[in-house]
């Protein structure tokens, strides 16, 4: 608790500190590559024959996903707190890579916890982390995926709390993480809103994003929450079936519960044991969801729908062939939803899809699942 | 039945219920009581035991394979209460299984089973409003964890909310036996004594008679968990006897005080 309170105090101070904000903006601009483009998907729009589709290109950000927005923010906080050791959990590896990147940039020791199942399916990222100087520790317990990596990271943190900062990668965990991580990703929506107004002279009818923990989604949604006419659509991992354990659609089968310091919708059994989940995409494979998403959904402000493994894989191929963009499997879930939705919308409607990351890390899985010859 | 600490130091024994099975857990607990344990912490296995090291993690996984549930642990508690009238019983669990059962129903069933207190690992005192209300309404003692990193103001909050005893965690970290006891423990107990008159139990990492005696010099009670769970793991087929032997070794160091 003391560490969480220290972090909250430090974060509140940093929020008001103009020098901190200036330094963060500068790193986002000159190091990470912000602002990211908002790309009009001309051929995809034509093919679907409905709404105009714009893609927010977080895949173009340094390290290949949105994760670094948060890592840079927390990295600068670590500096302020005078800690020199950083630990993180990672699912698909993008957050691990972004953390290792920022630790190399700022000179911190870095340990990343990753489920051994995820290490197998996202080998490229494991190598990148090690090349960047991080130690990657495989987690063998439980389902050997993201939830288990978080458990191990938390155990490390309580043991080493005096010297170590836990750089949590999504809008999960105890306060202040969900708020802080969301704030570091708000830049996505801020940019997208200004960019679409410039491109189309109006706000979009819908904004679509995939939701694992929920960081890229809340990052793009937040700025549009007050624009009541803009529909906010989160896409969860529909996996390979509807039974518990076959998917990671928290709003389809979950109920309120507490996991890893957060009270939100959790996939669990009738005795309150947390369920295992499945998704072809490691980054969506998590049984709970960011509490702010739970709030948006319960308030009716945002809606959450599933996309299956098969739909995500098809969407990957379609986006690659119509726009020359290979999305991360996570982001492909958002693309899968726009493929269903755009044809039913007017041609004058505008939809923004958050491409939260690029798909290089998924080549192995794509090769296993697609027959391209 | 109030949680009582007659001996100094008293011994609190933790077991993960359902490892290897509930019937054996009952035998283990009764053997521990017979050998001198004053309070038993009945651990409810959980899928994501974030505060536990590898020994209790493994025990939880084994217990869950048989489908051990909170409801079953409470039934077991009632059985144990039937055999042991003056032993303190504490249900030790993560929050989610209790939320799933319902706070009110949980407290009712727990009291009815003859349990004295409850310790929820991941419910901080700051979030415990509803829990404290239900616990008081059912005359159950809420036990909270105090950590070496807790500032004084927080220790005061913990002390005010606690009943029965305060559980002082001996070091920053998760459960698991250690060769060396950290110096954090004695300092923490000293700080707690300034804010509470409740008995203070120290736990995490205590596995030998020497450590038990050492900690017993400044604590009212000593909690032994992973060492017991590991004894169970290593003595398949004679778990209760092995735990009885181990507990006797520990209690041999503390003098019996008559009322």
Q: Structural domain of residue A354, as residue ranges?
A: 33-64+186-369
Same domain, A157 and A236: no
In the predicted structure, residue A4 carries a pLDDT above the cut 90: yes
Mean pLDDT of A257-281: 96
Interface test with A, best of B100, B158, B176 (most A CBs within 10 A): B100
B interface residues, A as partner, C-beta within 8 Å = 46-51, 53, 57, 61, 64, 67, 69-71, 94-101, 122, 124, 126, 147, 149-151, 154, 172-174
Q: Does A159 contact B at CB distance below 8 Å?
A: yes
B152: annotated active-site residue: no
A279-302 tens-digit pLDDT: 999 999 999 999 999 999 999 999
Task: Let me know whether A242 and A173 are in one domain.
Answer: no
CATH number reported for the structural domain that contains residue A135 in this entry = 3.40.50.1100
Residues A193 and A208 in one domain: yes
If asked whether residues A221 and A160 sit together in one domain, one would say: no
ipTM: 0.92
Tell me: pLDDT of B258 over 70. no
Same domain as A160, residue A90: yes
pLDDT tens digit sequence for A45-71: 999 999 999 999 999 999 999 999 999
Q: Which domains does chain B have, with CATH numbers?
A: 10-142+206-251 (3.20.20.70)
Total domains, chain A: 2
Residue B65's CB is within 10 A of a number of other CB atoms, namely 12
> A346 and A232 in one domain?
yes
Q: Is the pLDDT of residue B259 over 90?
A: no
The candidate with the shortest Cα–Cα distance to A29, out of A62, A75, A76, A1, is A62
In angstroms, the CA B211 to CA A319 distance is: 63
- Mark yes or no for CB contact B172/A158 under 8 Å: yes
Predicted confidence band of residue B155 (pLDDT cuts 50, 70, 90): very high
Distance of CA A45 to the CA centre of its chain: 25
Domain boundary among the residues A177, A208, A231 is at A177
Same domain, A134 and A8: yes
Do A229 and A335 share a domain, yes or no? yes
Claim to verify: residue A126 and residue A229 sit in the same structural domain: no
Mean pLDDT, all residues of chain A: 96
Q: Are A168 and A310 members of one domain?
A: no
Chain B residues whose CB is inside 8 A of the A259 CB are 48, 96
* Domain end marker among A177, A201, A233: A177
Instruction: Report yes or no: A168 at the B interface, CB cutoff 8 Å.
Output: no
**pLDDT digits 0-9 by tens, A92-141:** 899 999 999 999 999 999 999 999 999 998 889 999 999 999 999 999 98
Do A70 and A60 belong to one domain? Answer: no
Query: Quick one: what percent of chain A has pLDDT higher than 90?
Result: 94
Last residue of a domain, one of A133, A153, A177: A177
- B24-83: per-residue pLDDT in tens? 999 999 999 999 999 999 999 999 999 999 999 999 999 999 999 999 999 999 999 999
Do A10 and A151 belong to one domain?
A: yes
């Amino acid at each position: 608790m003391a560490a969480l309170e220290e972090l909250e105090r430090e974060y509140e101070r940093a929020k008001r500190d103009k020098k901190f904000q200036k330094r963060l903006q500068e790193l986002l601009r000159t190091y990470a590559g912000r602002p990211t483009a908002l790309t009009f998907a001309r051929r995809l729009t034509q093919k679907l024959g409905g709404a105009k589709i714009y893609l927010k290109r977080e895949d173009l950000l340094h390290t290949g996903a949105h994760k670094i927005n948060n890592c840079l923010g927390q990295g600068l906080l670590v500096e302020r707190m005078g800690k020199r050791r950083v630990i993180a959990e990672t699912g698909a590896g993008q957050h691990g890579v972004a953390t290792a990147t920022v630790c190399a940039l700022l000179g911190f020791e870095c340990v990343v916890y990753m489920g051994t199942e995820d290490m197998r399916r996202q080998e490229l990222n494991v190598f990148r982390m090690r090349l960047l100087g991080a130690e990657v520790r495989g987690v063998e317990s439980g389902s050997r995926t993201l939830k288990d990596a978080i458990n191990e990271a938390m155990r490390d943190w309580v043991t080493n709390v005096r010297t170590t900062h836990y750089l949590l990668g999504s809008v999960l965990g105890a306060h202040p993480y969900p708020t802080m991580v969301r704030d570091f990703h708000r830049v996505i929506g801020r940019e997208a809103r200004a960019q679409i107004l410039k491109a189309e002279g109006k706000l979009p009818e819908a904004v679509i994003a995939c939701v694992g923990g929920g960081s890229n989604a809340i990052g793009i949604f937040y700025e549009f929450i007050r624009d009541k006419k803009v529909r906010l659509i989160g896409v969860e991992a529909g996996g390979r079936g509807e039974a518990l354990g076959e998917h990671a659609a928290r709003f389809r089968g979950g109920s309120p519960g507490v996991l890893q310091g957060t009270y939100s919708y959790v996939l669990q059994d009738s005795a309150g044991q947390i369920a295992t989940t499945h998704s072809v995409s490691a980054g969506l494979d998590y049984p709970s969801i960011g509490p702010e998403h739970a709030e948006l959904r319960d308030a009716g402000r945002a809606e959450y729908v599933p996309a299956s493994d098969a739909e995500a894989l098809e969407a990957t191929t379609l986006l690659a062939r119509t726009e020359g963009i290979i999305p991360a499997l996570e982001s492909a879930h958002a693309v899968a939803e726009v493929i269903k939705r755009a044809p039913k919308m007017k041609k004058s409607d505008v939809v923004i899809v958050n491409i939260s990351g690029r798909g290089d890390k998924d080549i192995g899985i794509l090769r296993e699942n697609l027959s391209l010859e | 039945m109030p949680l009582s600490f007659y001996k100094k130091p008293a011994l609190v024994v933790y077991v993960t219920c359902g490892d290897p099975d509930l019937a054996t857990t009952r035998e283990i607990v009764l053997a521990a009581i017979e050998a001198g344990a004053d309070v038993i912490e009945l651990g409810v296995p959980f899928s994501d035991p974030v505060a536990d090291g590898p020994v209790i993690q493994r025990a939880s996984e084994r217990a869950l394979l048989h489908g051990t549930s909170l409801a079953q642990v409470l039934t077991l508690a009632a059985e144990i209460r039937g055999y042991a009238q003056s032993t303190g019983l504490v249900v030790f669990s993560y929050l989610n299984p209790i939320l799933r059962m319902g706070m009110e129903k949980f407290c009712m069933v727990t009291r009815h089973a003859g349990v004295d207190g409850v310790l929820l690992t991941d419910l901080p005192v700051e979030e415990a409003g509803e829990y404290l209300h239900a616990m008081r309404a059912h005359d159950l003692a809420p036990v909270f964890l105090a950590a070496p990193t807790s500032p004084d103001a927080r220790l005061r909050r913990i002390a005010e909310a606690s009943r029965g005893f305060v559980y002082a965690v001996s070091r920053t970290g998760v459960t698991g036996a250690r060769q060396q006891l950290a110096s954090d423990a004695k300092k923490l107990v000293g700080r707690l004594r300034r804010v509470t008159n409740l008995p203070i139990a120290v736990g995490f990492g205590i596995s030998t008679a020497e450590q038990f005696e050492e900690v017993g010099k400044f604590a009212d009670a000593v909690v032994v968990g992973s060492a017991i769970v590991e004894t169970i793991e290593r003595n398949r087929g004679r778990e209760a006897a092995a735990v009885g032997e181990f507990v006797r070794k520990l209690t041999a160091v503390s003098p019996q005080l008559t009322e």
